[in-house]
Copies of this chain bind each other. A is one copy, B any other.
Amino acid sequence: MDIKFTPVSSLGEFGLIDKFASLSARFSNPNILTSIGDDAAVLKTTAGNLSVITTDILVQNVHFDTSYTSMKHLGRKAAAVNLSDIAAMSAIPTAAFVSLGIHSNLSVEMVEEFYEALTGEFGRFGCAVAGGDTSASPIGFIASITVAGEVEPDRVPMRGGARAGDIVCVTGDLGRSHAGLKVLQREKSRYVEAGQPADFLANFEGYDSALQKHLIPEPQLKLSRDITDKIRVHSMIDVSDGLVSDMLHICRASRVSASLDEEFIPLDPITKRTAKEFNEDPLAYALYGGEDYELIFTIAESDYQKLYSLEGYIRPIGRITEGEPQVTIKRTNGSNETYTDFPSYQHFAKRNRI
């Protein structure tokens, strides 16, 4: 195998920027008038449209673990996570801005792999990199990403727009990303406990769809536009922290309650099987796992039938009601669980949050 390790320092900042510029140039967007190579990017907006801007920072050993996330997966996921926020506003992405902090122990090949996957994922949705910044980092790898897009004012769904009587819908299935994470963490523990042997074989067989969901989530840009093409969506959010937290964000912003039925919350068979292996409740993966990057949205009951004409898996999971901001889960065993605050992230100790 021909694996190269070129130290970043041997290329220098301008050499690295040249590589980034040529990888970025594989994709373009007609609304980007100037991009890399000026003080700022200049973007054209369709008259009357609104600009939508989102930003995320990823820090090594906080948001990702390079022992089971390749730079390629990381690059793609970094783009996808931001595009998912754009999808939650039913907007169309235009331009991305990518700032990197790079420690000198990283190779040019690693950074290039990240950047190629990142620009490729943006490019797949018509979004081009229009700017950024590059810096040394005293430790590890830092990626700070900003994405700009645009949306028509009459269709942007806000978090604060949910109304009593709305039906709560969700795209895809929930908890599968967390199932993938559990498997990755288990195999990492096995590897560490075995003394990190060079010939270690991780046991990933049969978990493909869970691993894929965790490592390379799909932003629901097209489905979001398809939905708002047909329906005036009252509120929408993407599932990054888990169903309870993200639903509670809508409830707080809209000053309403949500009542969700366990029996309607979509769980994939692989999520159920994985949770069973770990002796855990698969519903907990959906409620608190997060990182599914599906969409939760609320619509008027009278619009519900319009969803049938859409391609894509969309399910109703409950109702918006009047009342204090809270989320109630009606369990199939007849009990109710009510959340007035965000469930602790320590549930899964998944993220090394502040």
Contacts and interface: CB of A to CB of B under 8 A. Distances in A.
A51 interface: yes
A51 B59 contact: no
Most buried by B among A60, A133, A159: A133
Interface in A53-94: 53-63, 85-86, 88-89, 91
B55 A146 contact: yes
A30 interface: no
B142 A57 contact: yes
B8 A354 contact: yes
A13 B294 CA distance: 24
A55 B99 contact: yes
A38 B159 contact: yes
A93 to B, nearest CB: 10
Given A38-B253, A159-B37, A99 B56 contact: yes
A6 interface: no
Contact of A139 (B50, B134, B138, B238): B138
Nearest to A61: B138
A44 B52 contact: no
A142 B142 contact: yes
Given A59-B101, A89-B38, A89-B40, A45 B51 contact: yes
Contacts of A56: 99, 133
A132 B16 CA distance: 26
A151 B39 CA distance: 14
A277 B16 CA distance: 37
Contact of A97 (B13, B42, B53): B53
Given A40-B85, A53-B131, A137 B59 contact: yes
A135 interface: yes
A252 to B, nearest CB: 9
A104 interface: yes
A269 interface: no
A9 interface: yes
Copies in the complex: 2
A3 interface: no
A304 interface: no
Nearest to A16: B354
A51 B61 contact: no
Contacts of A16: 354
A151 B95 CA distance: 17
B136 A353 contact: yes
19 contacts: A9-B354, A37-B159, A38-B253, A40-B88, A40-B149, A41-B53, A43-B51, A53-B95, A53-B97, A55-B97, A55-B131, A55-B144, A57-B100, A59-B101, A59-B137, A63-B135, A101-B142, A134-B354, A144-B144
Interface of A: 8-9, 11-14, 16, 33-34, 37-45, 47-63, 85-86, 88-89, 91, 95, 97, 99-102, 104, 130-140, 142, 144, 146, 148-149, 151, 156, 158-160, 236-238, 253, 342, 352-354
Given A42-B158, A43-B51, 18 more contacts: A34-B158, A38-B159, A39-B159, A40-B91, A40-B149, A41-B54, A42-B50, A43-B50, A55-B97, A57-B133, A57-B142, A58-B135, A62-B101, A97-B146, A102-B354, A136-B353, A139-B139, A144-B144
List of 4 A-B pairs having minimum Cβ-Cβ separation, nearest first: A144-B144, A40-B54, A39-B88, A57-B99
